[in-house]
Amino acid sequence: MYKEILKHVTSKIELTEDEQLEFIGILSEQRIAKRQFLIEPGQTVDCEYYVVKGCLKAYYLDEGGNKHIIQFAVEDWWISDFEAFFGNLPAQLYVEAIEDSVLLGINRDTLETLYKRISKFERFFRIKTTNAFVALRGRILSSLQKSNKERYLEFCQTYPEIEKRVPNYHIANYLGIKPESLSRLRKEMF
């Protein structure tokens, strides 16, 4: 259960046996069935979640009630309403399981106290956020400067796992295009 996340963390910082145990100690396992919500708008978001197993999506509904998918997550990814989590604000997003999933939650306050005891963890989460920042930056560039066909191709190459496991209309939504348009792009491509 904890093997994956320990590998994930120790790829960035070295941890003694004791530190590993201490880290595991602050994780809370959470299981969630397909179509169930991990987070709903208005809730307080105390945790960010590491995905051990499964597949989830984060989205919000706009004024017109249209769904907008912001993020998918599968094994070895993190998910939450990060804006709410970091800012200690009420959630604006739904986080919903696309498949039955197993998660490890980290509580913000518990994490803060861990930072104070072992500052290496502050380092880990700084590095993790920095990497996420760089990845997001790449997504912006691609969203602004590439055609939808290129972006879909890029999506398939970057997230082959997700492309296989998630229905096309979800992917279209994530890319910000209509399912009909995605269908046409796919037709032109193969």
Partner DNA sequence: AGCCACAACTAACATATATCAAGTAATTCC
Partner DNA sequence: GGAATTACTTGATATATGTTAGTTGTGGCT
Give the binding site for a second copy (CB under 8 A).
62, 68, 70, 82-83, 86-87, 115, 119, 122-123, 125-126, 129-134, 136-141, 143-145, 175-176
Instruction: Give 33 or 89: the residue with its C-beta nearer to DNA.
Output: 33
What burial letters (b/e) apply to 18-54, b meaning 16+ CB within 10 Å? ebeeebeeebeeeebeeeeebbeeebebbbbbbbbeb
How many other CB atoms sit within 10 Å of the CB of residue 96? 19
Cα–Cα distances in angstroms (integers) from residue 133 to residues 48, 129, 130, in the given order: 16, 6, 5
Instruction: Give 35 or 126: the residue with its C-beta nearer to a second copy.
Output: 126
Give 90's DSSP letter. B
- 68: partner contacted, choices DNA, a second copy, none (Cβ within 5-8 A by kind): a second copy
- 115: partner contacted, choices DNA, a second copy, none (Cβ within 5-8 A by kind): a second copy
| Cα-based angle 87, 144, 62 (whole degrees, multiple of 5) | 50
Shortest approach of a second copy to residue 112 CB, angstroms?
Answer: 10
- 122: partner contacted, choices DNA, a second copy, none (Cβ within 5-8 A by kind): a second copy
Contacts of 137 (CB under 8 A, 6+ apart): none
Contacts of 185 (CB under 8 A, 6+ apart): 148, 149, 152
Instruction: Give 32 or 58: the residue with its C-beta nearer to a second copy.
Output: 58
Shortest approach of DNA to residue 43 CB, angstroms?
Answer: 25
Instruction: Give 87 or 160: the residue with its C-beta nearer to a second copy.
Output: 87
Instruction: Give 52 or 171: the residue with its C-beta nearer to a second copy.
Output: 171
What residues line the site for DNA (CB under 7 A)?
A: 147-149, 167-169, 176-187
Shortest approach of a second copy to residue 177 CB, angstroms?
Answer: 9
- 30: partner contacted, choices DNA, a second copy, none (Cβ within 5-8 A by kind): none
| Helix residue spans in 48-119 (DSSP H) | 82-87, 108-117
